Structures are given as structure tokens and as C-alpha cells.
Structure 1
Amino acid sequence: MSAAVLYAARCHARPRLALLLLTLLLIAASLVHLGLGARWIAPQTVLQALLEYNPRNFDQRIIVDLRLVRLAAALLTGAALGVAGLLLQTVIRNPLGEPHILGLNAGASLAVVATSALGLSLG
């Protein structure tokens, strides 16, 4: 193989390796999150709850009914924010673009102040 082909293969391998490492880090952090809280739950109980759920086990019910739902919401929110940032950078055609450029933060602050001043609520 030529040096150019080897260099290209090496350049394509780096992002894949980084993606793999970040995915493993996300999985590890998620498993740690499921065990931490007001009541500490052992890692083997966390894995049992995910693989062999027993609704009679109180710790497993905490994991599945409370913490797993919160984890899924956090992961989906993070993914949605990432996609929103990507779309913003694509629309303004600037890879370094951020919400300050379009004044989105100022508009959001105005909405918070107006809602507080006028006493409006969602409920």
C-alpha cells in the first residue's frame, strides 16, 4: 500500500476510535448514574434490573421506574440540544456559530422577564 492510502486509513480510524471511546464512556456514566442517588444501589443490582427485571425487588423498581426514566429524558434532551446546535450552525453556515449570534439568549431572557413581570404561568 502507498503512504497516502495508509495515511487516509489512519485519518478515518481516529474519529471512529473517538466515537467508540465516547460511546463506552456514555454507557459507563449511565450505569453509574443508575446506581447513585438518595439510595445507593450496587452495580450488580443495576445490571440485574436491566437484564432480569424483578418487580418485587425494591431496588430494581427504583432503577426502572425512577432512574431509568430520568436517564432517558436526560439523554434525549442532550441529543436534541446537539441536533439543535448542528442545525443552527448549518443554517447560518458557520461551524463556530452559537445562539448569541442570532440573539436567541436575549430573546429567551426577555420572555422570562416578561413572564415574571406579568405573572403569567403555564398551569
Structure 2
Amino acid sequence: MRIIFCSECGEYSLDPATKCDICDSSLPEDGWAEVSGEDLVQLDYVDGMEYESHLPIWEYEVIKLNARADAVKYNTELLNRMGDAGWELVSVESSSDSESVRFGIFKRAWLPEDFM
């Protein structure tokens, strides 16, 4: 099964979906992952965990960057949208099997009250 992650609120929706089930934002075309039923159970388990308020909590997002020369505008808009949503670019990594495929790794402070 395929799930699609929302870059605005960090939740996921089951495919097929074009809008987030939680915040109603448009879902990114490249924000999906193939998961098994067991993976989905684990995600739901983690979602139900209680966090201690004095510990720093970070959420991470990995987005495939477009490596084509004509994709500069797309990548710039993507990075600006992520920055506007509070995401900080931590690193740009290449895929182990292809030097031309790059992924942007982002992090932002996770505030539990924003997601309740």
C-alpha cells in the first residue's frame, strides 16, 4: 500500500489522495512511500506515544530533489515552501546507487500542541 506524507502538518494519508486528511493541504506528488501493513501498524504505534515536554523533539522530512538542469525553479520553490513551513535544510545526500539522484534532508522542531 502507498501512503503520502503531508509537508505542512507531517501526517500521512492513504493513497489515492490529493489533500491531507488532517489539515486539508495539497499533498506533494513526490511525498509517498510504499509500506506494508506491519509498517502502518508501527506508524500508528509511534503516533500514539507520549513525549516528555522537557525533551527536544525533532521531525525529519526527506524529499527527492530534481537533478535535471531545468529543475532549478522547481527546487527553489520547494526549498522556499519548506522554509516557510519552518523546515531547515540539514543536508543534501546522493543515492548510494546513483550520483545523479539527490535527497534534501530537512528538520524542524516538533510541537505536540500544533498536532492535537
Say yes or no: TM over 0.5. Answer: no
TM-score by length of 2: 0.21
Question: Which has more radius of gyration?
Answer: 1
Higher strand share: 2
Greater relative contact order, per chain length (Cα 8 Å cut-off, separation 6+): 2
Higher helix share: 1
TM-score by length of 1: 0.20
